[in-house]
Chain A
Amino acid sequence: MRSVSALLLAGATVLTYGGLATAVGQSAAPSKLYLTAAASSLVEQGLAATAPAGSDAASYQEIPSPGVRYLPNVARATNVPWIDSNGWRFARGMRKVSYAKVPAGSAALAAAEAFVFNVDAIINPDPKDLEDLGKMLRFLKANEQAPLPDMVNIGVVDNPSPLLNEVLNLLTRRNLLYKVVPAPDRTLDVNVQLGTPDFPAEAAANPYEFAARVRAKLGDDKRLVRLYGTSTVVARLTGNKSRARLYLLSFGSRRQQDAGAQAIRVRLQGRYQPATFAAYGGNPDAKVSDVRHPGTTTEFWVPDFNTCAIIDLEAMK
């Protein structure tokens, strides 16, 4: 196995190890969540801070509420989910965001999204969501830790083309773990640069096709995360050479992932032993099950969860 360099924390130590992924610099502090006056009761409970005002607030960029829409697929009688995730915005560098318009039922997901992607966020919840949001904030607080670097093996060379946004959005949805880079990074398995023979600019006009092209170029065997049994969960993998943390963010209509007793199977590149499993809306005693290590990978079933699950893993010697 070839060695690749891993960049740990923003501008920090560069080291080399026998892993498969490059870790991306991240804020060293956990995300900070702020609530507007609509959720002052949750602020009083110490679950979040009061949203900044004035010029402080102006530094937070408004982003859409995360969610899912079911659009008709013309070929069949059912609808296909279209995930509205802000993961690609965060990958492009947004670190301070405002969920100013959050429809009822979405506040907990917005909080989880900001937490999972480790961004500071102001959330303006619908009053109907306060109970759910409070539970989510308690869950997130209980699972807060110093952030680990993102693990990615795809580099997307930044480009002012608006088409790149949809491409990044599709890569996020397909769990093709990437970082946006200013220039090709040879430590990564694939570099995506619009206008090159592998990735012609015109191909980006169809992000589906483009994401498929990136996937094919990388090869499924090299993907850092595969999720089987769901099409509405976005994964974020963070880690260093001794441990990893996998976040699963469910965008399904009820955000409940329980299509079967063991609905989602995860495959990770690297050999890990799952240490803890935390699920919002799940059984507090649930554990990942049927852990296997085919080749250089780790596989396991994920128990039921709602909106967000966090799996901490220890690297095997």
Chain B
Amino acid sequence: MDRREFLAAMAAGPALAALQPRPIPKYQIVTKFKRAATPGMPGAYPGRVVTVHSPTVIDEVTEKVDVPTVQSMIARGMSTLTGDKDPRDSWARFFNAQDFVGIKVNASGAPGAMSMPEVVAEITKNLTTVGVKPANIVIHERGAGQILAPKYHEFVPAGVRVESANTWLGYDPDVYVEVNFFGEEDTRSYLIRMVSEQFTKIINVPNMKDHGASGVTGCLKNISYGEFNNVARSHYHAQTETLTFIGTLATVEPVRSRTVLNIMDGLRGVWHAGPFSRDRKYRFYPKQLKFGTDPVAIDRLLIDVIDEKRKKEGVISVWNREMKYFTTKQEEWERDPNMNRSIREPGHIEYASTLGLGVYDIKKIDHTELTV
């Protein structure tokens, strides 16, 4: 057996075993932080989701975003979520002048798929209206390369910072999850330090995307894989460990307690080959924003958005686990939306509900839909 064969054996072993159930990995959570009395997830409104649609918020040809429409959508979404007449009162329920707020965007698919700068800018403006100082607002991602692509600094009020773990504070040595999935050498995933040492609150702003490993990537995955390092190790093989890793990371304090608001940016979405958006043919335009404190409830609805689009395109569901749709060849899963590089695990959302992160049962989700 030569070296190339070793590598093939490494990958093929788990692939052949993909249909065998895997036990829940043995997670060791290390943190010095205690859970808040009312943790941010599922927060003040468990099971409640507000979806605001707008047919004019983005131009599907130019992808230009209509800023006044975004402003209206966010105002309506927040006031409907909290039941306040004035959206400023809604924001004031979550944030005040003493807060240091981290905005966890998703820029992994930029520029084709990302938390839109216009949406993020409107969020920062609303924070300042309730007294949060621009210098105490940090738009962030784990990686420096990703956070720079959307050019958020060109859209937000002066003083708002754009950072990554590479550019500010690095990782917290005292907050990590230790687990050995596949015999990998590096078994720790550390939390980025600005979360533990600086932020008092976090706003989670994911996108609407298919994900080759986790099925979809929404609130839960953005706040977990986006705030911890060394997470790709969970999905190097056909069968992944995304089912349990995503929710487990989201429970780690202080992430769970400080993530108080989720605003899912569904102006654009990706229905295949996510989380990236290399091929525009897999991009679509849900033209909506979802609001809630419960990441599980929002992500439960996200599954339907992605799967309905896939159904409309005539391709397999994100729930399909047949090995005949698995391929190790990138060109195949990029070309054929029926093929995939992993067995998708949209069940990670239901698993997260078992950890107390929110409401998964669609019958128990209080979903309000509006159009502006």
Residues of A whose CB lies within 8 Å of any CB of B are 71-77, 80, 82, 174-175, 205-208, 212, 215, 220, 227-231, 259-262, 265, 290, 292, 299, 301
Contact = CB atoms under 8 A, between A and B. Distances in A.
Contact of A231 (B7, B9, B180, B185): B185
A71 B186 contact: no
Contacts of A80: 7
Contacts of A77: 330, 341
Most buried by B among A205, A290, A292: A290
Interface string B208-248: 00000000000000000000011000011110000000000
Given A80-B7, A265-B173, A292-B174, A227 B186 contact: yes
Nearest to B9: A206
A217 to B, nearest CB: 13
Give the interface size bracket for B toward A.
35 or more
Contacts of B165: 260-261
Contacts of A265: 171, 173, 188, 190
Sorted from nearest, which 10 A-B pairs have the closest CB atoms? A261-B170, A75-B11, A262-B170, A74-B328, A290-B173, A77-B330, A74-B11, A228-B188, A212-B183, A75-B237
Given A73-B7, A174-B185, A301 B170 contact: yes
Interface string B141-182: 000000000000000000000000111111101100000100
A259 B166 contact: yes
A72 B3 CA distance: 11
A75 B341 contact: yes
Given A230-B186, A260-B171, A261-B169, A73 B10 contact: yes
B184 to A, nearest CB: 8
Given A75-B11, A231-B185, 8 more contacts: A71-B7, A75-B14, A76-B237, A207-B6, A220-B180, A228-B186, A260-B229, A261-B168
Contacts of A220: 180, 187
A261 B197 CA distance: 15
Contacts of A261: 165-171
A74 B169 contact: no
Interface in B1-56: 1, 3-4, 6-12, 14-15
A206 B1 contact: yes
A207 B238 CA distance: 22
Contacts of A205: 1
A224 to B, nearest CB: 14
Interface string B290-309: 00000000000000000000
Nearest to B326: A75
Given A259-B166, A292-B174, A75 B6 contact: no
A299 B15 CA distance: 35
Contacts of B167: 261
B4 A71 contact: yes
B339 to A, nearest CB: 13
A76 B276 CA distance: 14
Contacts of B186: 227-231
21 contacts: A71-B3, A72-B7, A73-B7, A74-B11, A75-B12, A75-B14, A75-B15, A75-B341, A76-B341, A82-B3, A175-B185, A207-B6, A220-B187, A227-B186, A228-B187, A231-B185, A260-B170, A260-B229, A261-B169, A292-B174, A301-B171
Interface in B302-353: 328, 330, 341
Contacts of B6: 206-208
Nearest to B4: A71
A230 B233 CA distance: 12
Contacts of A207: 6
Contact of A262 (B171, B188, B238, B328): B171
B3 A73 contact: no
B1 to A, nearest CB: 6
Contacts of A74: 7-8, 11-12, 328
Interface in B117-149: none
A36 to B, nearest CB: 30
Nearest to B8: A74
B223 to A, nearest CB: 19
